[in-house]
Amino acid sequence: MKSHAKVVVIGGGVVGCSVLFHLARAGWTDVVLLERDELTSGSTWHAAGGMHTINGDPNVAKLQKYTIELYKEIEELSGQATGVHVTGGVLLAATEARMDWLRGVVAKGRYLGLDLEEISAEEAHRLMPLIDPKQFVGAVRNSEDGHLDPSGVTQAYAKAARKLGAEVERFTRVEDIKRRPDGQWDVVTNKGTVVAEHVVNAGGLWAREVGRMVGLELPVLAMEHMYLITEDMPEVAEINASTGKEVIHAVDFDGELYLRQERGGMLMGTYEKANQPWSEQVTPWDFGHELLEPDIDRIAPSLEVGFRHFPAFQKTGIKQIINGPFTFAPDGNPLVGPVRGLPGFWCACGVMAGFSQGGGVGLALSNWMIHGDPGFDIWAMDVARYGDWASMAYTNAKVRENYSRRFSIRFPNEELPAGRPLKTTPVYDLLAARGAQFGVAYGLEVPLWYAPAGVKDEFSWRRSSDFSHVAKEVAAVRNGVGLSEISSFAKYRVTGEGAEAWLDRMLACNLPKPGRMTLAPMLKEDGKLIGDFTLARLPAADAGGAPNPDEWLIFGSGIAEQYHMRWFEQHLPVDGSVRVEALGLGRVGLSIAGPEARKVLEKVTKADVSNAAFPFMAVRKMDIGMAPCVVGRVSYTGDLGYELWMAPEYQRAVFHTLMEAGAEFGIGLFGSRALNALRLEKNYGSWAREYRPIYGPLEAGLDRFVAYNKTADFIGKAGAAAEKASGGKLRLRAFVMDADDADVIGDEAIWHGGKVVGWVTSGGYAHNAARSVAMGYVPKAVADKADGFEIELLGKRHRARLQPGALFDADFKRMRG
């Protein structure tokens, strides 16, 4: 075994082997994979070998398509058969709600280049005769589904990697990982130590244990999973004989089942409700190529449905039941990328669909390691989407929920209950007492809307029980004043003598003067977005004239706190001249907005908050009632408004102060659904929806905040200039669409001139403007055409008109007045 390597990949399952292959293919050949046993000694060997392109996240779906297309290449390169059979498949719907969901999948598939088609239940039966069409209302045909030999694929990755110069060491168990003084890693094994610049945790079933070696508690849990294989079935033989082909795949969402042919019989797997975690605390090192005891009682309810939906199963015997463990992250997507605070330590774990996703994970990770960027939008798989709050118990609750809901519909207004409430702010119970219905962002309970007694969300793809109540919240803001809790924003404090120069390099905007705020895009080296913030520079002196040290606050997307901290810390100067802290819930917030907001503020502070003294985008410290706060004159509602930030111990006092002062103006509480309705009529985008790392600032309409000519050599300056010169490819646009009882939520297809040209990033009903609004990206060439757009919603194309200006306060009189 070599003593030094650029990269050590820990784990020879399908994921580790894919990472190794991708590194070697990209030219990093000083790489070695360490496997404690034979290759495939984790969950890989007993997988059912199914592969499919669809995924709830379109970007993950793209990487799944890449994975499936890769198999031919690794088979040719390695000379190792992968056993890939692309049979095609049907996705079945037993309810209309499921069919609505599938229609959304088809619409997404159009711009992802997936071959999906809505078909009737009878047509599905014709394609897959084991189906009882009476049990279903419709289906979708998918030409890219199929299956493969799990061991063959893994060996093919490994052999192809070896041919390219990579090494594989079997029976080499990593026992410890230690940081060396020179920043490299000592990877300690039972056969000696390898010094490595980079370490990849592809430990699969042992990913937690490998993480613990460097002090990480990864949010990963293994679950038992069962599938059965039937005796040979005459119906299968008949289909094979009459079509000359294998029986195609089927996913029966409502039965929570998947099926494919296995030799002369069928394989049926289930995601049962009464699921069972495996090795909840520690994975035993001596677990190898053994299977777990099947528990037929646990899957009996699913099998009962299966036997009804696929009647031929009633007449056949079960040859074998396989029960094996495999790992999940709380949301079921992989955990990929560099780990904050551990330079050179990378994750490629929590991959629950290794044969659909392994290739994409390997490609994204190798790009990231070699080029500093995954090259795709992989937010849905980024390990940084979790923070310390994703504890072992939280993970356990969420993984179990996710497993039991693997094939369940999640409606756009449906909040899942497991692992909650976990993080709450001091006003949580005050808001709950006033009817707040909560959702979750980054583990924190956030008010979505306020329901009268006895009313709650009715889950639907269409406008639902909250509609008229959200309309009232919106009206409270636009006609008087509203109050909302804004603690879910991420807040960072930047201090130190080097802060100003560092921010000037990190952010693409001009820095504000003391006492001012600005919108601040942050770019990557390639000039694309990696953040979109509000940057506040606190005044140089306090109200009494005493000087303040230079202090900057950055406000950004709450869900991206770990993601942005990782980026900030990767770019901090080593001399300690800059300090960045994520304030988390050490700083909480409330916001007031609407035409009467200033009058409310005037009543609760001695500070001069007149328009002249405290204009739009001003920021300063002031007492609100008795509580010290930082107040910024800005509001995502696009109205006259203020954001008030305080230490948590003051939040209740500030809440009561504002509510009492606002009573005479009819102050109303509003939640994030009303905020969505308000920001949509201003064409305001947000991080993770409109602003993502695949868009340039010009494409995203943030170019007006980019100081292309500022002296500082900010990160992404050349890339941004190149985008400006070329004009980029896409444009973010807002549309008003003809919609009757449903509004877009995101990921719908945008058509122009009878062709799919783009995708929706978000939308909803803008109650004040009384319009259904969608935001999304379209090619530059059609971006300014007023007519000809349609947006596909629940299987129907709706006329959409470009909405270039804001529907509300287009001349900024309210916001700046």
Ligand X SMILES: Cc1cc2nc3c(=O)[nH]c(=O)nc-3n(C[C@H](O)[C@H](O)[C@H](O)COP(=O)(O)OP(=O)(O)OC[C@H]3O[C@@H](n4cnc5c(N)ncnc54)[C@H](O)[C@@H]3O)c2cc1C
Chain residues that interact with ligand X, rule: CB under 6 A: 10-16, 34-37, 41-44, 46-50, 173-174, 202-206, 210, 225, 227, 322, 324-326, 349, 351-356
From residue 464, give the alpha-carbon distance in Å to each of 133, 408, 467, 470, 679.
31, 19, 6, 10, 20
Q: Which CB sits closer to ligand X, 61 or 618?
A: 61
Query: Least distance (Å) from ligand X to the CB of residue 365?
Result: 12
From residue 162, give the alpha-carbon distance in Å to each of 24, 29, 313, 709.
8, 9, 44, 48
Query: Least distance (Å) from ligand X to the CB of residue 150?
Result: 7
Q: Which CB sits closer to ligand X, 145 or 532?
A: 145
**Using CA atoms, how far apart are residues 492 and 561, in angstroms rounded to an integer?**
9
Q: Which CB sits closer to ligand X, 202 or 769?
A: 202
Tokens at residue 652, please?
């209740």
From residue 148, give the alpha-carbon distance in Å to each of 145, 228, 261, 634.
10, 17, 11, 55
Q: Which CB sits closer to ligand X, 49 or 662?
A: 49
User: 755: which residues sit within 8 A by CB, 6+ positions away?
Assistant: none
Name the phi and psi angles at 526, rounded to 5: -80, 5
Q: Which CB sits closer to ligand X, 148 or 698?
A: 148
> Quick count: other Cβ atoms within 10 Å of Cβ 243?
12
Query: Least distance (Å) from ligand X to the CB of residue 344?
Result: 17
Cis peptide before 421 (omega within 30 of 0): yes
Q: Which CB sits closer to ligand X, 175 or 811?
A: 175
Measure the CA dihedral 32/37/43/49, to 10°: 80
Query: Least distance (Å) from ligand X to the CB of residue 250?
Result: 13
Query: Least distance (Å) from ligand X to the CB of residue 352?
Result: 5
- Using an 8 Å Cβ cutoff, are 775 and 735 in contact? yes
- Least Cα distance to 743 among 678, 677, 788 occurs for 677
Q: Which CB sits closer to ligand X, 50 or 685?
A: 50
Query: Least distance (Å) from ligand X to the CB of residue 324?
Result: 3
Query: Least distance (Å) from ligand X to the CB of residue 256?
Result: 14
Query: Least distance (Å) from ligand X to the CB of residue 42?
Result: 2
- To the nearest 10 degrees (0 to 180), the angle between helices 354-371 and 58-78 is 90
Q: Which CB sits closer to ligand X, 249 or 620?
A: 249
Query: Least distance (Å) from ligand X to the CB of residue 50?
Result: 3
Burial 619-646 (b: 16+ CB within 10 A, else e): bbbbbbbebebbbbbbbbbbbbbbbbbb
**Using CA atoms, how far apart are residues 600 and 431, in angstroms rounded to an integer?**
19
Q: Which CB sits closer to ligand X, 49 or 89?
A: 49
Query: Least distance (Å) from ligand X to the CB of residue 406?
Result: 12
Q: Which CB sits closer to ligand X, 52 or 682?
A: 52
Q: In the block, which residue shows the tokens 């005796």?
A: 231
Helix (H) / strand (E) containing 749: strand 749-752
From residue 657, give the alpha-carbon distance in Å to each of 489, 648, 660, 670.
22, 15, 5, 17
